[in-house]
Amino acid sequence: MKKSELTEILNDVKTGKLSVDGAVDKIKLEPFQDIGYAKVDTQRELRQGVAEVIYGMGKTAEQISGIVNEMNRQGQDRILITKISKEKARKLSKSIKFDYYEEAQIGIVGGIPKPSGNGQIVIATGGTSDYNIAEEAALTAEAYGNKVLRLYDVGVAGVHRLIANSQYLINANVVIAIAGMEGALASVVGGMVDCPVIAVPTSVGYGASFGGVAALLSMLNSCASGVSVVNIDNGFGAGYLASMINQRTQV
């Protein structure tokens, strides 16, 4: 249920078009829709400001299509689908219309909106190898109406590349720092800016990186204030959180 729909119900009660019991019945029916293999959360946008996101991994193309159709039926026009393979996206395209971004493994129903006018989210990566996770974060933030600037391959092994872009970092409302290996980028960025920094450890690295655990622990132990950390390879989580912060910021 959207906020506008709840407002309409309450206005109908106010004007006498709908009884209190009738309003209660309508609201009771809204928390979720059970479609058998999924219980679609129809009040997510009302509670959190954005609709439920579909996690594509482990779901069939038919299941994803069914969830999208139910969300559309409930009035949700823009839907984000994460972690869907190219093959699954190909199957899905036969039943629903959406834009697919292969590098990020993201599908967006309803397209990317124009930025809302709030400030800018800057996404910085340690290396080109972090590109896929960075695009997942960037597209998530853009799908929620944010202006995003990408600074890719500016890691600490050539820190002059990061310093050359310091003005963009300083002017950001939020910075997402994405890195594998030892994950040092987040601490360096955290020491340069006065805005929140969201660190994303990636599974990029040699054996002792333990699939991103080394970067995760390094970021969790950052000495720079204002650095928070999401899970390994969780570009979506970083983009979502950055959007929440940016949308609350007044320019």
The terminus-to-terminus CA distance of the chain in angstroms comes to 30
* Structure-model confidence comparison of residues 3 and 58, the more confident one: 58
Q: Is residue 1 part of a domain?
A: no
Same domain membership, residue 233 and residue 128 = yes
**Number of domains composing the chain:** 2
Same domain membership, residue 150 and residue 213 = yes
- Select from 86, 109, 132 the last residue of a domain: 109
Q: Is residue 190 part of a domain?
A: yes
Taking only the tens place, the pLDDT of each residue in 192-246 is 999 999 999 999 999 999 999 999 999 999 999 999 999 999 999 999 999 999 9
Same domain membership, residue 71 and residue 170 = no
Q: What is the pLDDT, as a whole number, of residue 44?
A: 74
CATH number at residue 189: 3.40.50.1970
- Any idea of the CA torsion for 116, 178, 175, 53, to the nearest 10 degrees? 30
Q: What is the pLDDT, as a whole number, of residue 51?
A: 77
Query: pLDDT category, 88, cuts 50, 70, 90?
Result: very high
Contact 141, 173 (CB under 8 A): no
Same domain membership, residue 89 and residue 149 = no
Same domain membership, residue 161 and residue 89 = no
Percent of the chain having pLDDT more than 90?
61
Report the DSSP beta bridge partners of residue 125: 178
What domain range includes position 61?
55-109
Most confident residue range from 6-10, 41-45, 149-153: 149-153
Taking only the tens place, the pLDDT of each residue in 27-48 is 665 677 666 777 777 777 767 7
Same domain membership, residue 84 and residue 131 = no
Same domain membership, residue 227 and residue 168 = yes
Contact 56, 107 (CB under 8 A): yes
* Nearest Cα residue to 195 out of 222, 219, 224, 217: 224
Mean pLDDT for the stretch of residues 46-60: 83
Taking only the tens place, the pLDDT of each residue in 58-74 is 999 999 998 998 888 87
Residue 79, pLDDT > 80, answer yes
Stretch (H or E) spanning 123 = strand 120-125
Same domain membership, residue 102 and residue 143 = no
Same domain membership, residue 179 and residue 62 = no
pTM given for the model: 0.83
Same domain membership, residue 103 and residue 74 = yes
Query: pLDDT category, 178, cuts 50, 70, 90?
Result: very high
Query: pLDDT category, 2, cuts 50, 70, 90?
Result: low
